[in-house]
Amino acid sequence: MDLARRKAFILSRLVVAASVLLAAPLWIVFNGAPTLPQSAMFALAQTPLLSVVALLRLGKPRLAQAISIFGWIALAAGFVAVAGGDRAVAALLLGVALIEATLTFELAMVATIVATSLALLALDAGLHAVAAPMVHDAFGDAFGPLRAATLGAPLLAYIAMLAVGAIRVERARALLDERNARELRLLTEAIGDLVVRFDEGGAVSSLTGDTRRSYGLDARDLMGRGFFQRVHVADRPAFLKLVSDAIASGALSTATLRLRVSATPSEFGQFVEPVFNFFEARACRVERVRDDDHSRSVVCVLHDVTAARRADEHIAAARLESELATAGKTRFLANVSHELRTPLNAIIGFSEMLANDDLVPSDAGKRKEYAEIIRNSGQHLLAVVNTILDMSKIESGSMRLSPEPFSLPELVDQCVGMMRLEAEQNNIELTRDYRDGLGEIVGDKRACKQIVINLLSNALKFTPAFGRVKARLYPDGNSLALAVSDSGIGISSADLGRLGDPFFQASACHNRAYEGTGLGLSVVRGLVGLHGGSIVVESAPRRGTCVTIRLPLDCRLHENQPPGLAKIETIARLGAIRQGHDVEPEQEVVKKIA
């Protein structure tokens, strides 16, 4: 609206100034060279051009209007003051000034024009009363400037009252429009919605809503085609269909759109990643006010549903996680039942044989062997129960470390010695690789021993006969790294992402070929997390597995940090493993997102 008024203001005044300039040569041809007063009148006639310059240079519409209005008054005063002036032209110029003042909707401006016009009428009557005698008509009335002033003043007052009434009506309408716009703006700000008007091509013609406070966007960024450029490319057909359906049917049309509201650097800073919000769009057609109005547009209310969508996604993720946890617990119970049943059967069976005089063997060596089986089965049961209790303490956050300085290489030697018999029974080569002088670390010795035994036990369990298992120790900055690698069956990429989750066991089934509860790596993850360490798992089917844990040299430095599970970084290997060769951590790998 303001742009249209500016264009009309500039165009009309340029036309007037150009007309005066074109009339100047004709005046010289028919009337000769102008006198000094006539030249002054010609200069005053160029005042509209001065008002255009003031508008374009200073950008002040009210000042430009004032220059234009008082230019007309000055020109009318010139016609009155110059001897032989044309009163009709002066009256016409005053009328133009009054009309233009009315269009400003300023009462003070109208009052000024009326007062100036009355003063000019009085001046004209006074000048001519002194300069010439009265002329009387047939009724004996004074027919001249005095009569014109007497009759013109009431007429001028009447015109002024009409102008004042028009201004008041326009002000009331403008005030009502402003109040409605303010209430709509407050309503949209309170609700948080955007009210947008689109033309039939999808361009924005008006927008209501606080886009800057809500999204950091200037309203000008969305005007015209700016809104369409911010709609997600995949949603642009839906947006155009929304506008088209609303215009064609006249019924309410709805769609969900993604609108780019900001940008953020990517994870590694290589590029800027756009940020999209989800909006529910409800559009309806704007009915025509006049029959000759052929423009078509729609009003659309945009409601930000990003938070609701995120909440739904979180709920769905939580539901999926809960379902997976429930399924994992079911598998865990089945695994634990299987783990408990075998040693319990051995304990019950051999204890019944020893308690029955008819079944007890007479050979003392056999009786000792049965007792050893019962003892080993009981130790196995105790280990299973301890693992479950440890996992429960880790999950509840009740497990506490007892830090003390100890030699990790010596601890690894002890654990390798404990597992060597199992390795030899399964024809698996168990080796260790670390240099002397690695020094001591400060940590929970019992927990670290449990970590090493669990890693070695898993490696031996999933490595076939004639395979290799290696334990390596090496310094890594402020940490000491322990890498346990094997040439076993490996882990698929689908299962890598869930390693370390409680109750999860890769390829778990009731008739699986490998025993165990599936809590070994979960316990390792919890104990490493309590030490403030990290875990890296490299594996692939038939490529073996390498589990690397990094323990800080002094776990007491992490006591103030909140306890939690260690983050597991998973890496999928490439290629194939050659029989009889173990896998080193330096071999070619492809990192996966953990």
* Domains, in order of start, for the chain: 2-182 (no CATH), 192-304 (3.30.450.20), 314-377 (1.10.287), 400-591 (3.30.565.10)
- Measured between alpha carbons, how far is 326 from 304 in angstroms, rounded to an integer? 35
CB 48 within 8 A of CB 13: yes
- The CA distances from residue 24 to 30, 68, 78, 124, 324, in Å, are 10, 20, 17, 27, 93
Question: Which residues pair with residue 471 across a beta bridge?
Answer: 432, 484
Report the b/e string of 19-47 with b at 16+ CB within 10 A: ebeeeeeeeeeeeeeeeeeeeebbebbeb
- Measured between alpha carbons, how far is 229 from 224 in angstroms, rounded to an integer? 10
CB 214 within 8 A of CB 245: no
Residue 157: how many other CB atoms lie within 10 Å: 13
Report the b/e string of 554-587 with b at 16+ CB within 10 A: bbeebeeeebebbebebbbbeeebeeeebbebee
**Which residues are within 8 A (CB) of 47 and not within 5 positions of it... i.e. 6 or more apart?**
67, 68, 70, 71, 72, 74, 75
- Measured between alpha carbons, how far is 568 from 215 in angstroms, rounded to an integer? 36
Sheet of strand 204-208: strand arrangement: 204-208, 194-199, 297-304, 272-285, 253-265
pLDDT in the model for residue 8: 74
Q: Which residue has the tokens 């404990």?
A: 418
**Which residues are within 8 A (CB) of 560 and not within 5 positions of it... i.e. 6 or more apart?**
none
User: Residue 567 gets which letter from DSSP?
Assistant: P
Structure tokens at 545: 């597995």
**Which residues are within 8 A (CB) of 459 and not within 5 positions of it... i.e. 6 or more apart?**
469, 484, 485, 486, 488, 545, 547
Question: Which residue intervals of 226-363 are DSSP H helices?
Answer: 226-230, 236-249, 306-355
Phi, psi for 26 (deg, rounded to 5) = -65, -40
Structure tokens at 231: 């709609």
Dihedral sign, Cα of residue 474, residue 477, residue 478, residue 484: negative
In 313-462, beta strands by DSSP E:
404-407, 429-433, 440-443
Q: Which residue has the tokens 């002036």?
A: 85
Q: Tens place of pLDDT for every residue, the chain, 594 residues?
A: 466 667 777 887 788 788 878 887 887 877 778 778 778 878 888 888 888 888 888 878 878 888 888 887 887 777 777 644 566 677 777 777 777 777 776 767 777 777 777 776 666 666 555 555 544 443 344 444 544 444 445 555 545 555 666 666 677 777 777 777 777 666 666 666 888 899 888 899 888 877 777 777 888 888 889 899 999 999 999 999 999 999 988 889 999 999 998 877 765 566 678 889 999 999 999 877 565 566 788 999 998 898 888 899 899 988 988 887 787 777 777 777 777 887 888 888 888 888 888 888 888 888 888 888 888 888 878 877 887 887 778 777 777 888 999 999 999 999 898 888 889 988 999 999 888 888 889 999 988 988 998 899 889 988 999 999 999 999 988 899 999 999 988 888 777 766 766 555 555 444 444 555 567 788 888 888 888 899 998 888 888 899 999 999 988 887 766 666 777 887 876 654 444 444 444 333 333 333
- The CA distances from residue 98 to 72, 105, 179, 316, 418, in Å, are 9, 11, 29, 71, 110
Burial of 553 from C-beta contacts in 10 A (0-12 / 13-18 / 19+) = middle
- The CA distances from residue 153 to 156, 211, 383, 415, in Å, are 5, 54, 115, 118
Burial of 131 from C-beta contacts in 10 A (0-12 / 13-18 / 19+) = exposed
Report the b/e string of 503-522 with b at 16+ CB within 10 A: bbbbebeeeeeeebbbbbbb
**Cα 537–Cα 540–Cα 546 angle in degrees, nearest 5:** 35
Structure tokens at 567: 């983050």
The DSSP code sequence of 54-110 is HHHHH--HHHHHHHHHHHHHHHHHHHHHSTT--HHHHHHHHHHHHHHHHHTT-HHHH
Structure tokens at 134: 């009265």
pLDDT in the model for residue 468: 93
Instruction: Read off the pTM.
Output: 0.47
Pairing of strands 545-552, 429-433: unpaired
pLDDT in the model for residue 124: 64
- The CA distances from residue 109 to 46, 65, 122, in Å, are 21, 10, 20
Report the b/e string of 421-455 with b at 16+ CB within 10 A: eebeeeebebebebeeebeebbbbbebbbbbbbbb
Amino acid at 64: A
Phi, psi for 538 (deg, rounded to 5) = -115, 125
- The CA distances from residue 535 to 189, 506, 515, 530, 560, in Å, are 49, 18, 23, 12, 21
Alpha-carbon dihedral angle through residues 132, 138, 142, 144, given to the nearest 10 degrees: -60
- Measured between alpha carbons, how far is 195 from 302 in angstroms, rounded to an integer? 6
pLDDT in the model for residue 591: 38
- Measured between alpha carbons, how far is 448 from 455 in angstroms, rounded to an integer? 11
- Measured between alpha carbons, how far is 21 from 179 in angstroms, rounded to an integer? 46
CB 451 within 8 A of CB 528: yes
CB 441 within 8 A of CB 554: yes
